[in-house]
Amino acid sequence: MPWTETQARLKLRAALLGGGLHLAYQPIVHAENAEIEGFEALVRWDDPGVGAITPDEFIPFAERRGLITRLGDWVAREASAQAASWPQLQQQGTFVSVNVSPVELLSGSFSERLQSILEDTRLPPRHLLVEITETSAIERHRETVRELEAVRRLGVRVAADDVGEGYMKLRVVSRLPIDVIKIPRRAMASRSRLAQRRFLAALVRYAQRQQIQTIVEGVETWEQFQRALEAGCDSVQGRYVSWPLTPEGVEEFLVSGWVSPGRDESE
């Protein structure tokens, strides 16, 4: 972002109020039968002057400058309203997932706010999934567990995002009340690395035992897709399936379904 922190804060606040943000939705499909499982909502900020600003840039900034709760509320409300407006999504039993920052999760009233968003938008809670990352899970473990349990009591499912990166190790994951584990492609990148292979095998075994769904994300090629299948993971997400879509794109995807493009010989 080409601005000072103060300018950026004003710009982001204005974007939040004035429609400068939107969501893109990336499909998640079952690896074996290609059925649609859900869509991850990813926030986008388009500034008229500088163009697209990526979430990796402005989410940490929003956390630092006290805007993350408002931003997170906007994302959850927008995604729920959108999901409630897609009859196909509900008929097919699929979900929309939203990323929740640790700062937002532990802000004190997260589950209450989520509940009123679900009521206002009339989205049945089983069609919503909340994705959380590692920091809070480690540093403020008890509070995190308490909040996640409150979220699950609403009927909303919980996913641990980016497992296998950073500190999100099996020991941490196994102490969290979760329904889904999301594994970045990197975690299964090299078959040659024994420690990585063992970690992945242990993770998948744990998930199967606990009836936790596993999603591999960032899958770009047929080969990576095959590797996810071989590792015993349930679902995949990534450009091999589809890039993030507009809301209209989601409606089309729900109607047409997904057909695996197969092996790309140029790979």
- Site residues (vs ligand C2E, CB under 6 A): 26, 42-43, 54-56, 59, 72, 75, 99-101, 131, 161-162, 217-218, 220, 238-239, 244
**Cα–Cα distance for residue pair 168/121, rounded to 1 Å:** 32
Cβ atoms of residues 4 and 223 within 8 Å: no
Provide the residue type at 14 as one letter.
Answer: A
Q: Which residues fall within 8 angstroms of residue 188, CB to CB, at 6 or more apart?
A: 196, 200, 216, 224, 227, 228, 231
Taking the complex as a whole, how short is the minimal distance between the CB of residue 25 and Mg ion, in angstroms? 12
By beta-carbon proximity to ligand C2E, the closer residue of 125 and 218 is: 218
By beta-carbon proximity to Mg ion, the closer residue of 8 and 134 is: 134
Taking the complex as a whole, how short is the minimal distance between the CB of residue 91 and ligand C2E, in angstroms? 26
Q: Which stretch binds Mg ion (CB under 5 A): 79-87, 162-170, 196-204, 228-236?
A: 162-170
135 near Mg ion, rule: CB under 5 A: no
By beta-carbon proximity to Mg ion, the closer residue of 8 and 96 is: 96
Cβ atoms of residues 83 and 127 within 8 Å: yes
Taking the complex as a whole, how short is the minimal distance between the CB of residue 225 and ligand C2E, in angstroms? 11
Q: Which stretch binds Mg ion (CB under 5 A): 7-15, 145-153, 156-164, 233-241?
A: 156-164
Taking the complex as a whole, how short is the minimal distance between the CB of residue 267 and Mg ion, in angstroms? 23
Cβ atoms of residues 156 and 130 within 8 Å: yes
Parallel, antiparallel, or unpaired: how do β-strands 36-47 and 95-100 relate?
parallel
Provide the residue type at 43 as one letter.
Answer: V
